[in-house]
């Protein structure tokens, strides 16, 4: 270790502001670039699965409709 103790490490010989500001921003950017695609993936999967369900329902109802018209025709 290059420093005497932990507080000496935090103080960085008077350069604490510069060193910790840089590394703080570094941590922020790294977290941001990681979290952004994780959240994007969640919302994409949610959106696509909603669309899937909607389309499945739409094709179901249209199938029922065509069936019922066939029955009506049969009754006539």
Partner 1 sequence: MNWTWFYKLGSPKWFYDTANKLLPWFLWIGVSFLLVGSVWGLAFAPQDYQQGNSFRIIYLHVPTAILAQSCYMMMAVAAVISLVWKMKLADMFIASAAPIGAAFTFLALFTGAVWGKPTWGTWWVWDARLTAMLVLLFLYFGVISLRSALENIDLASRASAILVLVGVVNIPIIKYSVEWWNTLHQPATFTLTEKPAMPPEMWLPLLVMVVGMYCFFAAISLMRIRNEILQRERRTKWVQKLISEESKF
Residues that bind partner 1 in the complex, under the rule CB under 8 A: 1-3, 9, 12-15, 18-19, 21-23, 25-26, 29-30, 32-34, 36-38, 40-41, 44-46, 48-49, 51-52
CB of 32 to partner 1, least distance (A): 7
CB of 76 to partner 1, least distance (A): 39
CB of 31 to partner 1, least distance (A): 11
**What 8-state DSSP symbol labels residue 55?**
H
Tokens 């590394």: give the residue: 23
> Do 11 and 18 touch, CB atoms closer than 8 A?
no
Distance, in Å, from the CA atom of 59 to the CA atom of 7, rounded to the nearest integer, reads 67
């Amino acid at each position: 270790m290059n420093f005497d103790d932990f507080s000496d490490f935090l103080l960085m010989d008077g350069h604490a502001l510069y060193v910790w500001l840089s590394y703080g921003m570094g941590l922020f950017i790294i977290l941001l670039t990681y979290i952004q695609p994780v959240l994007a993936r969640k919302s994409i999967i949610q959106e696509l699965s909603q669309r899937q369900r909607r389309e499945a329902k739409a094709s179901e109802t249209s199938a029922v409709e065509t069936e019922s018209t066939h029955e009506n025709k049969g009754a006539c």
